[in-house]
Amino acid sequence: MEQKRAQWGSRLGFILAATGSAVGLGNIWKFPGKAYEGGGGAYLILYVAIVLLIGMPCMLSELAIGRASQSNMVDSFKRLGHKKFTWTGLVGWVAAVVIACFYFHVGGWVLRYVYAYLAESKEVYADPLGFFYGVLGYDSVTGASRFPWETILFAFLFTAASAYIIIRGVKGGIEKFNKVGMPALFVLLIILLVRSVTLHGALEGVMYMLKPDFSKINGHTLLSALSQAFYSLSIGMSIMVTYGSYLPKEDDLEKNTLVVCVMDTLVAIIAGFIVIPAVFATLGSESVGKGGGFAFVSLAGVFREMSGGVIFGFLFYLLLLFAALSSCISIIESVVAFLTERFGWNRTKTTLVSCIILFLAGCLYTCSQAAFDIKGIWFDFVNGITHPAFCDAMEFVTDRLLIPLCSLGCCIFVGWVWKPESAVAEAERCGKKFRMAKAYSFLIKYVAPAAIIIILAVSLFTGTTLS
């Protein structure tokens, strides 16, 4: 049964949707902390170079596979005549499934904090860490645990919003949402940027981000920047293949890739210039960190210290909410696209059922944070089989294994099997010459796969986390 495939309504629609996917929590709560550790300006230079040399060729390859095959990632390789690479698509799809489980829940925490800054900022300020533990179902005073049902309810609302957008379709749901969500996100970024850099004492943080301190760059910084680029550009999760498959033939892949990569990197850098100067000005540079703990706990201290902090806190979590939602819908879209296309299932029912299952599985993510001792399983060659907390195991599986493996499969496929010329031809279908074709072919054949193999090897043979 051949159905007419969905398509983006306009080039801008695609760019906003792909940027929406790329701009996520990774940009806002991971990038600034990593930039701080990596010597401010030095890290920015390194990161931009990685995006240009490795991120862009990989993204363009995924978009080209999608548009050429007109198919979801799992089936795309068969469509292009190379069934043997179906594993690559499956790995990307499984990565999408696992990330969706926890993104629903982290999205719920963000929503919980939007509400907290509206209604309970006093409680947050009084004990930021205790409040965060409370959100996760752990009472830090008595040590008692309980099922965090309010937070789960917020996660459910976030899941329902994502499902609703997906059910509305590619043009009527995803594109429409991003056309409002992305400009709103940029407005919020600018407001927060102005507030942050005008804080008394912020200049030191701004200078830190501008002055390149290359002594802080080492092998680990380099690899951690590499894996940040993959995660941040939404590569290796089957998303860009799916989004690329909805692109019309006359669209310019080279330009689209460039715009999306520039926008994603710009947001990450702006987030760096919001977070770092604000922390320098209020709590002091030693409080800079990254991840959920930093965003929910340490930043509460920052908002408490600044005038108008409650409003800016509210706006900050609203910004996180837009970023999380637009990323989340892209991941659900790729989960659902495969199921509906492969099995001919109905889009609405498939979305509802998969969202419910993934949401339920994701409850383990929230519950294993602090309240309950739920273990997962992980293997690396240094520590052998270990049993980290379930939530950590979920992130290890995606960051350390599935995302790099899927990206590697795509690079090898495009570089050596389908051949860069096919991707270049796909990019030139719009009638314009692909100016960087030579550089692209070299990067996708040699540089990108080598970088990914190193990431995989370091993750598995040294047991270090690069995220």
Could you say which of 121, 159, 162, 232 contacts ligand PHE (CB under 6 A)?
A: 232
Give which of 320, 233, 337 is closest to 6, Cα–Cα. Answer: 337
Q: Which is nearer to ligand PHE, 331 or 427 (CB)?
A: 331
109 binds ligand PHE (CB under 6 A): no
Q: What does the chain come to in residues?
A: 467
d(CA 13, CA 6): 13
d(CA 390, CA 394): 6
Could you say which of 13, 14, 20, 27 contacts ligand PHE (CB under 6 A)?
A: 27
Q: Where are the alpha helices (DSSP H) in 253-344?
A: 253-282, 292-293, 299-305, 309-343
25 binds ligand PHE (CB under 6 A): yes
CB of 327 to ligand PHE, least distance (A): 4
327 binds ligand PHE (CB under 6 A): yes
CB of 98 to ligand PHE, least distance (A): 10
Q: Which is nearer to ligand PHE, 58 or 306 (CB)?
A: 58
103 binds ligand PHE (CB under 6 A): yes
Q: Which is nearer to ligand PHE, 15 or 99 (CB)?
A: 99
Give which of 368, 447, 365 is closest to 54, Cα–Cα. Answer: 447
Q: How many contiguous H segments (helices) and E segments (strands) does the chain have?
A: 24, 2
Q: Which residues pair with 389 in a beta bridge?
A: 375
331 binds ligand PHE (CB under 6 A): yes
224 binds ligand PHE (CB under 6 A): no
225 binds ligand PHE (CB under 6 A): no
Q: Which is nearer to ligand PHE, 199 or 335 (CB)?
A: 335
Q: How many CB atoms lie within 10 A of CB 84?
A: 10
Q: Which is nearer to ligand PHE, 221 or 242 (CB)?
A: 242
229 binds ligand PHE (CB under 6 A): no
Q: What is the DSSP string of 48-80?
A: HHHIIIIIHHHHHHHHHHHHHHTS-HHHHHHHT
Q: What are phi and psi of 389, to 5 degrees?
A: -55, 150
234 binds ligand PHE (CB under 6 A): yes
Count of alpha carbons within 13 Å of 276, Cβ hemisphere only? 26
Q: Is 145 helix (H, G, I), strand (E, B) or coil?
A: strand
Longest dimension (CA), the chain: 67
Q: What are phi and psi of 137, to 5 degrees?
A: 95, 15
Q: Which is nearer to ligand PHE, 98 or 443 (CB)?
A: 98
Q: Which is nearer to ligand PHE, 25 or 217 (CB)?
A: 25
Find the binding residues for ligand PHE in span 403-432 (CB under 6 A): none
CB of 428 to ligand PHE, least distance (A): 28
Q: Is 138 helix (H, G, I), strand (E, B) or coil?
A: strand
24 binds ligand PHE (CB under 6 A): yes
Site string for ligand PHE, 275-314 (x = CB under 6 A): ----------------------------------------
Contact between residue 299 and residue 283 where contact means Cβ atoms under 8 Å apart: no
Stretches 17-25, 166-174, 215-223, 251-259: which one binds ligand PHE (CB under 6 A)?
17-25
CB of 227 to ligand PHE, least distance (A): 12
Contact between residue 375 and residue 198 where contact means Cβ atoms under 8 Å apart: no
Number of shown-chain residues binding ligand PHE (CB under 6 A):
16
Angle, vertex CA 177, rays to CA 174 and CA 180, nearest 5: 145
Stretches 211-219, 232-240, 244-252, 406-414: which one binds ligand PHE (CB under 6 A)?
232-240
Q: Please state whether beta strands 378-380 and 384-386 pair in parallel, antiparallel, or not at all (unpaired).
A: antiparallel
d(CA 458, CA 356): 35
26 binds ligand PHE (CB under 6 A): yes
CB of 260 to ligand PHE, least distance (A): 11
Could you say which of 94, 99, 209, 336 contacts ligand PHE (CB under 6 A)?
A: 99
Q: Which is nearer to ligand PHE, 29 or 440 (CB)?
A: 29
Q: Which is nearer to ligand PHE, 59 or 124 (CB)?
A: 59
The continuous run of DSSP H or E covering 204 comes out as helix 203-210
CB of 26 to ligand PHE, least distance (A): 3
Stretches 18-26, 74-82, 391-399, 438-446: which one binds ligand PHE (CB under 6 A)?
18-26
d(CA 235, CA 410): 10
22 binds ligand PHE (CB under 6 A): yes
Count of alpha carbons within 13 Å of 181, Cβ hemisphere only? 30
Give which of 270, 275, 339, 265 is closest to 306, Cα–Cα. Answer: 275
User: What does the binding site for ligand PHE look like in residue numbers (CB under 6 A)?
Assistant: 21-22, 24-27, 99, 103, 231-232, 234, 239, 327-328, 330-331
